[in-house]
């Protein structure tokens, strides 16, 4: 009998385990994959390290929000990080890609750098930045304020991100530059709420970092710490049944038939995947319908290139390129995000490169009943075609890339589905919709008194969003003020 049993060893599961272990609880994490870490995992191809889901992280400068959370979690000092280009952590380009518009770190610097491309828009860019600064103030856990840790009322009445951005300027290019990194939240023009855009952008404007040699170091550091507190991780243990009775959790059952018992349970799975393995009637029909009607975020096609030694320069920016002057809805196949991971063996050259481009699950649905490495030749041909299109497009911006490529690998939404259990291979779980904000708000508490939820579906995805979500979940267990006091004591 554990105090808390956590389903899933992604960032959310590991942070919840860390917080509760620090409080003296006996915690067990159950993970389906043989390796813990979820989207923090890296994978290795020909000696190169590729990230699954952490390409850059914001707010890690001493005193900033993620720094403070990671300090409390005792992992900040062990992370190897490298700052991106302060004047352009992201570069946005359109069509021929010649002009690269910078998104810069620091509020004033953001205005300064962008104004040099749009001199007549300086005032409007400054107003946009003021708006972002004001919006994030409504989120106490973002700012680690002790007051009002409940979800702010404003959360439910947010406006549409695209419309708000368009309100700052008539300049179409600038509108699309300001929304240029919207793949960070899989933006949908008619649905994405402005608070999602504001929280994520503000975090990166504070400061933006790469994790040197991959994001799995976050998982490794957390695993080492929770191990010291005696937390157990059962890897390679898929949960196939979640059993409750009269609104109280009884146990969970693993694929091998083993039952795991706890006084309390936290599920970090997609809530619909969780309902799939619960008895019908565990929740009332309103909740069940709400969860099953959650819309997925878009899926992604991932291109992973291994590069010849000292042939392609490391870039301190992420490149968001769009086939048209439309960062929301440009042709998917020819629009991409491109980056070079940071490696400890060189500051100047990259040994690999990654490009991500939207891919609807429907495009791979015909192979949905297949598994990794057994999807057949048609699937491989389908992937190869996408690889070639993408390499061709990226090479227009970086002509030296083609000659630097050693080997090409790729992934589709099916890979994410099978690797980290992403429902329908969705990039970031459930989509937030400003037209129906309550629908995509999932509380960490459930009607089953000892079952809690955490993970990217409850508040926000991303390293910061999931960290805040885990604090919210554990705050509902331990008491918010108590937990926030503990965090503040450490910073
Ligand atoms: C391609 C991509 C790029 C990204 N880039 C960035 C970035 O640059 N910066 C950033 O901040 N964020 C980024 N993100 C988002 C970020 O990685 C995620 O939001 C975050 O890691 C999710 O953490 P989680 O704990 O909610 O879920 P996960 O990491 O998905 O963890 C859930 C875990 O639950 C396990 N699980 C599921 N079902 C079961 C079961 N039945 N039994 C046992 N275990 C189960 C899974 O195997 C998994 O390990 C990216 C995501 C993707 C996909």
Q: Are strands 248-254 and 259-260 parallel, antiparallel or unpaired?
A: antiparallel
| Of 144 and 257, more confident | 257
Work out which ligand 1 atom sits closest to the CA atom of 58: 11
Structurally, the chain folds into a number of domains equal to 1
pLDDT at residue 158 in the model: 76
What is the mean predicted confidence (pLDDT) over 387-413? 97
Q: Is residue 278 one of the residues assigned to a domain?
A: yes
What is the mean predicted confidence (pLDDT) over 243-257? 97
* Cα–Cα distance measured from residue 396 to residue 93, given in angstroms and rounded to the nearest whole number: 12
Query: Rounded to 10 degrees, what is the CA torsion of 162, 165, 170, 173?
Result: -80
Q: How confident is the model at residue 396 (pLDDT cuts 50, 70, 90)?
A: very high
Phi then psi for 87, rounded to 5 degrees? -90, -5
Q: Is residue 133 one of the residues assigned to a domain?
A: no
Q: Is residue 449 one of the residues assigned to a domain?
A: yes
**413 contacts 300 by C-beta, under 8 angstroms:** yes
pLDDT tens-digit readout, 202-249: 999 999 999 999 999 999 999 999 999 999 999 999 999 999 999 999
CATH of the domain at 264: 3.50.50.60
What residues contact 281, with CB distance under 8 A and at least 6 apart?
A: none
Side-chain-facing half-sphere of 195: CA atoms under 13 Å? 23
Residue identifier of the C-alpha nearest atom 46 of ligand 1: 420
Q: Is residue 178 one of the residues assigned to a domain?
A: no
Collapse the DSSP code of 63 into the 3-class scheme (helix H, G, I; strand E, B; otherwise coil) and give the result: coil
pTM of the predicted protein model: 0.96
What secondary structure, in 3-state letters, does 67-131 show?
Answer: HHHHHHCCCHHHCCEEECCCCCCEEEEECCCCCCEEECCCHHHHHHHHHCCCHHHHHHHHHHHHH
Work out which ligand 1 atom sits closest to the CA atom of 56: 8
Can you give the residue range of the structural domain that contains 220? 2-80+213-295+426-490
Q: Are strands 336-339 and 318-322 parallel, antiparallel or unpaired?
A: antiparallel
Res 153 pLDDT > 70: no
Q: Is residue 206 one of the residues assigned to a domain?
A: no
Q: Is residue 367 one of the residues assigned to a domain?
A: no
Tokens 């699954």 belong to: 52
Q: Residues near ligand 1 with C-beta < 6 Å? A: 7-13, 30-33, 38-40, 53-57, 238-239, 268-269, 273, 300, 356, 416, 420-421, 427-428, 455-456, 461-463, 466
* Cα–Cα distance measured from residue 181 to residue 103, given in angstroms and rounded to the nearest whole number: 9
Res 148 pLDDT > 60: no
Of 10, 43, 259, the residue with max ligand 1 atoms within 8 A of its CB, to mutate for a pocket test, comes to 10
What is the mean predicted confidence (pLDDT) over 71-87? 97
pLDDT tens-digit readout, 437-458: 888 889 999 999 999 999 999 9
Q: Is residue 431 one of the residues assigned to a domain?
A: yes
> Which range among 86-90, 142-146, 237-241, 256-260 shows the weakest confidence by mean pLDDT?
142-146
Question: 45-48 contacts: CB < 8 A, separation 24 or more?
Answer: 45/304, 45/306, 45/352, 45/407, 45/409, 46/306, 46/406, 46/407, 47/351, 48/306, 48/307, 48/351, 48/352
Q: How far apart are the first and last CA of the chain?
A: 34
């Amino acid at each position: 009998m554990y105090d808390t049993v956590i389903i899933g060893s992604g960032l959310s599961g590991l942070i919840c385990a860390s917080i509760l272990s620090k409080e003296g609880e006996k915690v067990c994490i159950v993970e389906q994959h043989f390796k813990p870490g979820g989207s923090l995992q890296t994978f290795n191809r020909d000696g190169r390290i590729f990230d699954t889901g952490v390409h850059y992280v914001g707010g890690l400068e001493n005193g900033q929000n993620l720094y403070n959370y990671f300090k409390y979690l005792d992992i900040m000092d062990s992370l190897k990080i490298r700052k991106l280009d302060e004047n352009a952590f992201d570069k946005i380009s359109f069509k021929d890609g010649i002009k690269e518009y910078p998104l810069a770190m620091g509020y004033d610097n953001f205005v300064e750098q962008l104004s040099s491309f749009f001199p007549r828009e300086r005032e409007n860019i400054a107003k946009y930045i003021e708006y972002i600064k004001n919006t994030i103030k409504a989120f106490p856990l973002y700012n680690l304020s002790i007051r009002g840790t409940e979800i702010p009322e404003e959360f439910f009445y947010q406006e549409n991100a695209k419309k708000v951005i368009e309100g700052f300027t008539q300049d179409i290019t600038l509108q699309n530059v300001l929304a240029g990194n919207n793949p960070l939240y899989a933006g949908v023009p008619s649905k994405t709420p402005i608070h999602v855009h504001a929280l994520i952008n503000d975090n990166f404007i504070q400061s933006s970092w790469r994790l040197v040699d991959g994001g799995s170091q976050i998982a490794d550091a957390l695993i080492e710490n929770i191990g010291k507190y005696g937390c157990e991780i059962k890897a390679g243990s898929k949960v196939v049944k979640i059993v409750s009775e009269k609104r109280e959790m009884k146990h969970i059952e693993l694929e091998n038939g083993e039952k795991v018992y706890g006084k309390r349970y936290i599920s970090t799975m997609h809530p619909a995947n969780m309902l799939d393995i619960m008895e019908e009637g565990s929740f009332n029909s309103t909740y069940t319908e709400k969860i099953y009607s959650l819309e997925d975020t878009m899926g992604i096609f991932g291109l992973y290139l291994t590069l010849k030694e000292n042939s392609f320069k490391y870039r301190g920016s992420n490149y968001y390129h769009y086939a048209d002057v439309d960062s929301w809805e440009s042709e998917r196949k020819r629009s991409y995000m491109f980056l070079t991971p940071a490696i400890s063996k060189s500051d100047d050259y990259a040994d690999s490169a990654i490009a991500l481009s939207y891919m609807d699950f429907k495009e791979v649905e015909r192979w949905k009943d297949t598994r990794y490495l057994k999807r057949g030749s048609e699937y491989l041909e389908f992937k190869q075609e996408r690889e070639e299109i993408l390499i061709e497009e990226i090479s227009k911006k970086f002509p030296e890339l083609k000659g630097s490529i050693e080997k090409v690998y790729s992934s589709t939404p099916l890979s994410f589905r099978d690797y980290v259990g992403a429902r329908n291979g969705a990039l970031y779980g459930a989509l937030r919709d400003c037209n129906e904000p309550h629908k995509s708000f999932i509380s960490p508490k459930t009607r089953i008194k000892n079952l809690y939820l955490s993970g990217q579906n409850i508040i926000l995805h991303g390293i910061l969003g999931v960290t805040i979500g885990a604090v919210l979940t554990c705050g509902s267990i331990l008491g918010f003020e108590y937990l926030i006091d503990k965090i503040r004591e450490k910073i």
